[in-house]
Amino acid sequence: MSNKFSTARFSGNEKQQSESSVTNTFVRDKSDNKLFKEIQVEAENTYITEDTIGCWDYDTPIYKIASNLETKFITVTCKSDNSITEELKGIVPFKGRSSTKVAEGSWLGLLNVERKVAGLQELTPEDFYVVDEQRLKYDDEEKAMEQAKIVLYKGIKKVKQQYGLSKIKLVLGQGSTFRDKLPTCRPYKGNRSDSLRPLLLKKLRAWVLENLDSEMAKPRADGENVEADDKIEYYGSDGYKHYRLNNWFSFVALSSDKDAFNSAKYLIDPSQHSGKDNPLKGKFKFPKAMLIEATDRSAGDVVLVSKAGGTKELKGYGYKFLMFQCALGKDQADNYSALSHLGQGLNFGAISAYEVLKPCKTAKETLQATIDTFANLLKYGVQYTDHFGKYHDVTTLEYMNTYFLIAYMNRSTVDTMDFYKLCKAFKVDTSAIENNNLLTQPKKVYVGDEAHTVEIKTLLEDILKNDFKGLKAMKKADQAVVLDTIKEKLLSVDFETHYEMKQEKKVFDKEPKLEHNTSTTE
């Protein structure tokens, strides 16, 4: 079989540059992973062969390569005088970091000093048009593309050598998916800025698809697009099935996306340290591959990691991490969180999630603990407005299913797994989150307590007859003692017996279909 990464694919100039760029002796990093050492692979040749194909989610790497070929900047132009214009590296050099005050050392701050001396009115950031712009770092596209190919080629070779792979397939994706249509509180990946896409990204992606062992993730039979990480999941799942039958992997997954950690597969995270002054720059964050086992062998694990500022971040793998992503946690990168985005002040963060998930020994126990947590936090169903502006009043089970679908990585194009099926498969008790939105939340209603009313009447009569007797004639010190006694008697009166917590049956525009998903109803 021909090697699709061989330099024969490049033009003469490309071949010369790429070969000269990769002749340095590669020194493999044999150090342990900083996290999850218990699942790191010590000898990859135990699990992979020359026929193993590493399938790499390449959307992010190729974006970074294309982005590094160019310089991004802003152009600021005064609205009232277009002769006042300048190219700057960004907003901070333009006006400083504050949203309310212009920094004296910024471009605008210094301009205002000049204007003040000249007797002119000072300008504000609102007096300017600000336009995001970009330009290539090279003289022309051809030179930029040559450099991009060299960087890409070196990166692939480095990964193959580090993880002992003979074959790598690059996978790209495009378009919106079914997740964008789910009724979540906020839009899927809606927090990503509409910044300019790299100038050569489209051209570089086309070159990869034409010249390297690669593929574009194709839509499902129902027409829904498939993300690159979903396609990688298909390969990872197939590879794991092959491993369980044959003791080696036909496919392994390469991905830096944390979603890849939540299911069974042979996983390679090829992400590398970056940063101008980082002494670890260029080194792999996970030098060793990881073997994540299925739920019949492991429930996975979670750990708490300290972040800058003293906050905690939960990281994990396997089934426990899936429950964190789909229910108990927050995915800031993809902009979804079942609990915090409701805006109900549930105060459930990484530490709370850790306390729920860490003690669990099995996948079933993990799922039940997650369900019980939601049953406690969302006792009366979930009432919310989705990112389309539609109001929902649903059961907690249905709400959990919505967020499970956004986090769960399908194992194939025909995978129809949802939260209902998952709960039935593990035979957990979902009774507390079924049909729990049919009644209103309990409200305090006055019902009266005739016997207690008589007691209060008797108490008041006793105070008037005995405690107030001769009160006016007493000395102030003696009056204080009597008044304290009266106060104590009055404070002892408890009116709670006059009230009950009651719920009322809701009226829906359409009669809801009752859920029967518990294992006890099967």
Q: Are residues 319 and 194 in the same domain?
A: no
Residue 522 lies inside a defined structural domain of this protein: no
Q: Are residues 364 and 413 in the same domain?
A: yes
List the Cα angle 358/362/368 in 5-degree steps.
Answer: 80
DSSP assignment letter at 139: S
Q: Is 389 exposed, middle or buried (0-12, 13-18, 19+ CB in 10 A)?
A: exposed
Q: Are residues 245 and 320 in the same domain?
A: no
Which residue in the block uniquely carries the two structure tokens 């939105």? 437
Pairing of strands 167-172, 214-216: parallel
Q: Are residues 50 and 185 in the same domain?
A: yes
Q: Are residues 457 and 421 in the same domain?
A: no
Cβ pair 426, 367 in contact under 8 A = yes
Residue 52 lies inside a defined structural domain of this protein: yes
Which residue in the block uniquely carries the two structure tokens 């389309």? 388
Q: Are residues 453 and 464 in the same domain?
A: yes
Its domain, for residue 76, covers 71-136
Instruction: Print pLDDT tens along the chain (522 aa).
Output: 333 333 333 343 443 344 344 456 788 999 999 999 999 999 989 999 999 999 999 999 999 999 999 999 999 999 999 999 999 999 999 999 999 999 999 999 999 999 999 999 999 999 999 999 999 999 999 999 999 999 999 999 999 999 999 999 999 999 889 999 999 999 998 877 667 899 999 999 999 999 999 999 999 888 999 999 999 999 999 999 999 999 999 999 999 999 999 999 999 999 999 988 899 999 999 999 999 999 999 999 999 999 877 889 999 999 999 999 999 998 888 889 999 999 888 889 999 999 999 999 999 999 999 999 999 999 999 999 999 999 999 999 999 999 999 999 999 999 999 999 999 999 999 999 999 998 888 888 787 888 888 888 898 888 888 888 888 888 888 888 889 988 998 998 888 888 777 777 777 777 777 777 655 444
DSSP assignment letter at 46: G
> 3-class SS at 476?
helix
Residue 517 lies inside a defined structural domain of this protein: no
Number of domains in the chain: 4
CA-closest candidate to residue 341, choices 180, 183, 185: 185
Residue 370 lies inside a defined structural domain of this protein: yes
* 123: its two tokens: 């300008």
Phi-psi region of 343 (alpha: psi -120 to 50; beta: other; left: phi over 0): left
Q: Are residues 390 and 491 in the same domain?
A: no
Largest CA-CA distance found in the chain, in angstroms, rounded: 116
